[in-house]
Amino acid sequence: MNILGIETSCDETAAAVVRDGFKVDSNVVASSLKEHAAFGGIIPEIASRRQIESIHSVVSQALDQAKVTLKHIDAIAVTAKPGLIGSLLVGVSFARALAYAAKKPLIEVDHIQAHWYACFLRSKNDNRPLPNLPAVGLVVSGGHTSLFDIKNVDRVKLIGKTRDDAAGEAFDKVARLLNLGYPGGPVIDRLAKEGTNDQIRFPRAELQGSYDFSFSGLKTAVLYYTRKHKNFSVKQVAYSFQESVVDVLTDRAILACQRKRVNTLFVGGGVAANSALRERLIQTAEEMDIKVYFPPMSFCLDNAAMIAGLGYRLTKRR
Ligand code: KG4
Ligand code: ZN
């Protein structure tokens, strides 16, 4: 079964063709990220205008690269929520019109759920076995930090979330106050590799009795530190900040696996690309006999393959 996926929830305009819920035959992403960099964050008006300009060619390219036409597509899956409303409207309107004209079923997909589902995606030469459910899902992106108890693709319970900033948002805000530009995650990830000493210890928010997260105190601690120490080392601050985020994310995710008695952990979203988080989770999970799955790098950030993949699984459950 071929599903055409469409994703336009933020600054990416993406389309993909996915076979049987996991085999990615094409994955096209156009991004307006560079245009937002000068503003230090996403400008919704710019994002939706670029979506309108590129949606048609992105969808055409996805079909071409998969060597199919609409005739071979069994259903169209589109991100319905959450996201910037102007951006979402572009994808949803386009998908609805296409589904109506081509007489295909339309499947509405939740973007956050699709982020953990990305662990199931396989590109052309990737023949690794597919993971099993039940699992715990940790979604760490620019807009969300959520923990899910996943019994099945349509039986998912939110068990923890951030009470303030999302993990990716914390990376972006700290990068901004260190004058590192936007987005902050990749540059902090890179700099932290050169600043590996534990001289600075930033706080870890302990929210007793819950799986929730909080990153705004950490961000403020970084701000105060940089004000107080005029000649601080950017690499040290990047490292210590990242360590704090990695500690908290790892603790909560592993705790959830233990309490829910599951030995499968999915990690998804832009922050899942973070090398320190990947390393720590792999190591800790191994010690606890938990199998941790990350999407391949190209499926960590926003993409439409994850939307098509989850869309397939949802139609199968209907
Ligand atoms: O999932 P995503 O592409 O978009 C949302 O749905 O939000 O995530 C974008 C976020 C940004 O905040 C970015 O700074 C962060 O992911 N990010 C990273 C890394 N690469 C991207 N954070 C930490 N380390 C990285 N290597
Ligand atoms: Zn996302």
Tens of pLDDT, residue by residue over 96-127, are 999 999 999 999 999 999 999 999 999 999 99
Note whether 2-126+299-316 and 135-295 share their fold.
Answer: yes
State the Cα–Cα distance between residues 133 and 260, nearest whole angstrom: 12
* Cα–Cα dist 143/115, whole Å: 12
**Residue 269 near ligand 1, beta carbon < 6 Å:** yes
Report phi then psi at 175, rounded to 5.
-60, -35
R_g (Cα) of the chain, nearest Å: 20
Cα 119 to middle of ligand 2, angstroms? 14
Q: What is the pLDDT along the chain (318 residues), one digit of tens a residue?
A: 999 999 999 999 999 999 999 999 999 999 998 999 888 888 999 999 999 999 999 999 999 999 999 999 999 999 999 999 999 999 999 999 999 999 999 999 999 999 999 999 999 999 999 999 999 999 999 999 999 999 999 899 999 999 999 999 999 999 999 999 999 999 999 999 998 777 899 999 988 889 999 999 999 999 999 999 989 999 999 999 999 999 999 999 999 999 999 999 999 999 999 999 999 999 999 999 999 999 998 999 999 999 999 999 999 876
If you ran DSSP here, which 8-state letter would residue 153 be given?
T
* pTM for the structure as a whole: 0.95
> Residue holding tokens 């987005």?
183
Residue among 171, 274, 275 whose CB has most ligand 1 atoms within 8 A, to mutate: 171
Domain limits, the chain: 2-126+299-316, 135-295
- Whether 183 is in the pocket of ligand 1, judged by its Cβ within 6 Å, is yes
Is the CB of residue 74 less than 8 Å from the CB of residue 2? yes
Pairing of β 135-140 and β 145-152: antiparallel
Query: Which residue among 113, 301, 302, 306 has the greatest number of ligand 1 atoms within 8 angstroms of its CB, and so is best to mutate?
Result: 301
Any idea what the Cα angle at residue 296 is, between residues 294 and 297, rounded to 5°? 105
CATH of the domain spanning 135-295: 3.30.420.40
Residues 114, 119: Cα–Cα separation, whole Å: 9
268 pocket-lining for ligand 1 (C-beta < 6 Å): no
β-strand partners of 135: 150
232: tokens are 């601080």
Q: How far is the CA of 250 from the centre of ligand 2 (A)?
A: 20
For the structural domain made of 2-126+299-316, what CATH number should be given? 3.30.420.40
For tokens 């079909």, name the residue: 63
Whether 27 contacts 5, CB under 8 Å: no
Distance from the Cα of residue 149 to its chain's centroid = 17
- 115 to 71, 142, 237: CA distances (angstroms): 28, 12, 29
Say which amino acid occupies 309. G
| Torsion angles phi and psi, residue 135, rounded to 5 | -155, 170
Residue type, 173: K
